[in-house]
Amino acid sequence: MVAKLQAVRGMNDLLPADSPRWRGAEQRLQAVLARYGYEEIRLPLVEPTELFARTIGEVTDIVEKEMYTFQDRNGDSLTLRPEGTAGVVRAGIEHGLFQGQLLRLWYQGPMFRHERPQRGRYRQFHQIGAECFGSAEPELDAELIAMTAQFWRELGLSGLRLELNSLGSREARAAYRERLQAYFRDHQAALDADSLRRLDSNPLRILDSKNPDLAALIAAAPSLPEHLDADSRAHFERLCALLDALGVAYTVNPRLVRGLDYYGRTVFEWVTDALGAQGTVCAGGRYDTLVEQLGGRPTPAIGFALGLERLLDLLAASGIDPATPREIWYLVSAPGACRAQAMLLAQQLRAAADAPTVLLDHSAGNFGKQVQRADKAGARVALILGEDELAGGTITVRMLRAAVTTQETVPRDTIHATVTRLAAQERP
């Protein structure tokens, strides 16, 4: 017995039954991105390990324990990208894309994190992300967030909640960090192991703890908004006013801190209760100092990434099928010369730019069996080419989805017009 090989734990195959839903959702999101002026960037799946340590942060869950890191044959330390922002910034600096003008980029693809797999949490997952470089104005925050709100409208999704917060300037955050550290030190005995570990390195992340035993302690902790610097406060108030004016509803969540270190000022998450524990579908924020920190010219920026597995799960839970329906025409023919003619016809039909899917039955079954298969394949139209049609230069067009099956034998160059006419008759 040969041992069965299986996919790596937490890494999923996307099978043909599901790919139309994925493609439909991706296409709708891409259409919205295009309307807002975003251009696609495609980047390597593998980057130098140092890139992620320097952007996401040394003392974050991702860098500390979730990265797929390995040495290549040259002995260089490489990492499968756990997210997209670091790579976009690296590429932007490397190719001189940050020239002071506004730059709007989007990307899509697999990301890798060695997390404990569960519903909505995988080791290979897929994001569509967008990054906007070159402006620190709150108008850009509002535009980007409004675009994500448009995603949900486009997909027919309701029930996602927008949570918003400001992390303030680097200095304000540092001052707040100290206050918070002092507070948690005073209550050290109540902390769990994870929080104790973060107490020195990253106390803000204690606010993120999901441990119910810590909820009361966290609720009573000094709050970030009270420590905001004046500029960040003004930025945040302006953003809130703009979102109000654009009709984008939100709640301010002063405990929202995000798990990556590069953020400052605006952070946001779109969350739902419909997916269990992993309810954040889309998340992002400002990172005004990251480009400079990696050696580029000072370039303020804001972005987000959306988890496609979670989005598709939410669409299914909401009874929404984002797949674009497929139009299938199925060619039924007798063997020999008829089959050869049918093959030629299929080829001609597929050449049109707006051609439907044209399937040719390749079995030697009788017409009845072939029509059954056409039906099973989801075809709307069967095109039948037997000896009579071959001799007469005609084709029999049969509509398979009508309440009463209609069919007509017509000249072969009138197939499209015939399908349109018969389809019109189907409607009551």
Q: List binding-site positions for L-histidine.
A: 83-85, 113, 127, 131, 258, 262-263
Stretch that binds ligand HAM, among 13-21, 124-132, 233-241, 328-336 (CB under 6 A): 124-132
Among 113, 173, 373, 380, binds ligand HAM (CB under 6 A): 113
Using a 10 angstrom Cβ sphere, with 0-12 exposed, 13-18 middle and 19 or more buried, the burial of residue 361 is buried
The whole-angstrom separation of Cα 138 and Cα 234 is 9
Which residue in this structure is represented by tokens 């550290």? Answer: 181
Question: Can you give the C-alpha Rg of the chain in angstroms?
Answer: 28
x/- track of binding to ligand HAM for residues 154-193 (CB under 6 A): ----------------------------------------
Site for ligand HAM in 308-327 (CB under 6 A): 309-310
Stretch that binds ligand HAM, among 45-53, 171-179, 302-310, 380-388 (CB under 6 A): 302-310
54 interacts with ligand HAM by CB under 6 A: no
3-class SS of residue 341: helix
133 interacts with ligand HAM by CB under 6 A: no
User: Cα torsion at 182, 183, 187, 191 (round to 10°)?
Assistant: -90
127 interacts with ligand HAM by CB under 6 A: yes
The whole-angstrom separation of Cα 236 and Cα 172 is 14
* Helical (H) or strand (E) element with 224: none
Q: How far is CA 368 from CA 156, 258, 307, 360, 363, in A?
A: 40, 60, 46, 15, 12
Residues 6+ apart with CB under 8 A from 233: 166, 168
Q: What is the DSSP string of 72-123?
A: -TTS-EEEE-S-SHHHHHHHHHHTT--SSS-EEEEEEEEEE--PPPBTTB-S
Smallest distance, Å, CB 252 to ligand HAM?
Answer: 19
Among 134, 264, 307, 322, binds ligand HAM (CB under 6 A): 307
303 interacts with ligand HAM by CB under 6 A: yes
Closest CA to 358 of 395, 407, 410: 395
Among 22, 125, 184, 250, binds ligand HAM (CB under 6 A): 125
Stretch that binds ligand HAM, among 29-37, 201-209, 305-313, 365-373 (CB under 6 A): 305-313
3-class SS of residue 400: coil
Q: Residue with CB nearest ligand HAM? A: 307
Which residue, 71 or 293, has its beta carbon nearer to ligand HAM? 293
The whole-angstrom separation of Cα 251 and Cα 239 is 13
Among 92, 134, 285, 300, binds ligand HAM (CB under 6 A): 285
Which residue, 228 or 282, has its beta carbon nearer to ligand HAM? 282
Stretch that binds ligand HAM, among 126-134, 166-174, 401-409, 415-423 (CB under 6 A): 126-134
Region of 96 please: left (phi>0), alpha (psi -120 to 50) or beta: left
104 interacts with ligand HAM by CB under 6 A: no
121 interacts with ligand HAM by CB under 6 A: yes
Tokens (6 digits) for 12: 């999923």
- Count residues binding ligand HAM (CB under 6 A): 26
Smallest distance, Å, CB 326 to ligand HAM?
Answer: 28
Residues 6+ apart with CB under 8 A from 256: 163, 164, 165, 267, 268, 269
283 interacts with ligand HAM by CB under 6 A: yes
Annotated binding site: 83-85, 113, 127, 131, 258, 262-263
Residue ranges in contact with ligand HAM by CB under 6 A:
83-85, 113, 115, 120-122, 125, 127, 129, 131, 259-260, 280-285, 303-305, 307, 309-310
